[in-house]
Amino acid sequence: MQNISLQLKRLSVSILVFIFAITVITVNPLSAKALTASSTSCISQVTLAQGTKYATDLYIIDSGKPGPVVMIVGGVHGNEPAGYTAAAEITDWQIEKGTLLVLPQANKLADNKNVRYLSSVGDLNRDFPQSSKESADNTLSKAIWSAVKKYDVDWLMDMHEGYDYYKNSSSSSVGQSLIYYPNSSTKTMASKIVSNLNGGISTSYKKFSLLKYPVKGSLARAAGQYLGVHSFIFETCDNPGLSIRVNYQLKAAKTLLHELDMM
């Protein structure tokens, strides 16, 4: 008898847990949304510069629905960890339309050594075409440049860090800035990202500045100028703790995708 009543008790607890789970899934719109999104986005991976020491993975998050192609790049400079840490997190984001390409460790060798660049490659952010007829400088930049063209990228965000706040007049660093190439509608998007971030920052010199013209030879400059991509470099200042900087990078990426109705 005792065994039977114990089993009945266990059964009724199981039923209650089941009913609770069903209620949460159907009533909570966030859970429902996540389930829908994960069932439609397909994540795949290709290797750029495959078979060379520069080999690095590109993640392709395909919503299965038409929409913009957005590329997010981290780790161009190996001593700027907020970019590649944030980009790594983005590799499993879900989107509702278009395609999200994520290259978390553009310069994986430099990232692994925590150096800005390796002398064998030079500064990867100066290796991209500086005229419409020029090609990228080396194996790694050629592979990244080919991917931007192959996937017909519409928007490109390149994640970087500076050693000081741009608004600190004593320094020439571009930390806490968004540097865009002025194609149509890029400025509107850039302004939205900066104002969204600045809404959460109370100290004025820590606020993000809107700048234009990414440096010549940078991926963002070349993509904006020669391929018509809406492109920008996003720079956090590396003074606060890493998690704060990573959150700025993630918030900027999220704002971009949200404004494009992809999230």
Q: Which positions lie near Zn ion, rule CB under 5 A?
A: 77, 80, 160
* Cβ at position 106, least distance to Zn ion in Å: 10
Comparing CB distances to Zn ion, the nearer of 21 and 215 is 215
- Minimal distance in Å, beta carbon 226 to Zn ion? 21
Radius of gyration (Cα) for the chain, nearest Å? 22
Helix (H/G/I), strand (E/B), else coil: 216: coil
Buried b (16+ CB within 10 A) or exposed e, 152-185: ebbbbbbbbbbebbbbeeeeebbbbbbbbbebee
Q: Which of 218, 217, 86 is nearest to 156 (CA)?
A: 218
Residue 54: CB minimum distance to Zn ion, A: 17
Which positions ≥6 away from 219 have C-beta within 8 Å? 73, 76, 106, 124, 125, 128, 141, 144, 145, 148, 156, 158, 231
As measured in angstroms, the least distance from the Cβ of 159 to Zn ion is 8
* CA nearest to 259, candidates 50, 67, 38: 67
Which residue's CB is nearer to Zn ion, number 77 or number 230? 77
Residue 58 backbone phi and psi in degrees, to 5: -110, 125
Nearer to Zn ion by C-beta: 154 or 235?
Answer: 235
- Name the residue nearer to Zn ion (CB basis): 68 or 175: 175
Shorter beta-carbon distance to Zn ion: residue 77 or 245 = 77
Q: Which is closer to Zn ion, CB of 94 or CB of 236?
A: 236
Toward Zn ion, which CB reaches closer, 80 or 154? 80
Q: How much of the chain is in helix, strand and coil states, percent to nearest 5?
A: 45, 20, 40
Q: How far is the CB of 83 from Zn ion (least distance, A)?
A: 7
Q: Name the residue with tokens 């039923």.
A: 15
**What is the Cβ-side half-sphere exposure of residue 111, based on CA atoms within 13 angstroms?**
21
- In the complex, minimum distance from the CB of residue 21 to Zn ion, in angstroms, rounded to a whole number: 46
Instruction: Return d(Cα 231, Cα 108) in angstroms, integer.
Output: 22
Least distance to Zn ion from the beta carbon of 110, Å?
A: 10
Structure tokens at 242: 């890493």
